[in-house]
Amino acid sequence: MLNLPPKVTDRAFERLAEIGAQAQGKALRVAVEGGGCSGFQYEIDLDAVKDDDLVLRGNGESVVIDSVSLPFLTSAVIDFSEELIGARFVIDNPNASSSCGCGVSFSM
């Protein structure tokens, strides 16, 4: 299996442009931390780019992933979803063996 970097959809980059992340000097940070109901959880926030980040660019915007989180997000897809229950950034992670109902927590 190839270790491909995460992919960010056009819809996710468009949403970042709508909220003006780059204009604020920020990028969407996607990180993986221990915890949550399934063992790991995603942290998604607007943040400044750091030296050890992988930077994914599109539509004039940036998504950053730190070097510790990167192995957990190999081949993942970062998207933006708008549903009746709300709008949010979502991660389709092929490395996760299971996830909780909220989609924020997962196990490997």
Under 8 Å between Cβ of 47 and 67: no
Q: Does residue 28 surpass a pLDDT of 70? A: yes
Nearest C-alpha neighbor of 43 from the set 27, 28, 62: 28
Is residue 20 situated within a structural domain?
yes
Under 8 Å between Cβ of 6 and 76: yes
State the CATH number of the domain containing residue 96. 2.60.300.12
Alpha carbons 33 and 39: distance in angstroms, whole number: 9
pLDDT computed for residue 108 by the predictor: 54
pLDDT computed for residue 84 by the predictor: 85
Is residue 24 situated within a structural domain?
yes
Average pLDDT, the chain: 87
- Average pLDDT of the segment spanning 73-82: 95
Chain center to CA of 87: 14
Q: Which residues partner with 41 through β-bridges?
A: 33, 105
Number of domains, the chain: 1
pLDDT single digits (tens) 52-66: 999 999 999 999 999
Q: How many CB atoms lie within 10 A of CB 106?
A: 22
What residue numbers bound the domain in which 36 lies?
A: 7-107
At 31, is the pLDDT very low, low, confident or very high (cuts 50, 70, 90)? very high
Window from 35-39, 46-50, 60-64, 67-71 with minimum mean pLDDT: 35-39
Q: Which residues partner with 78 through β-bridges?
A: 8, 91
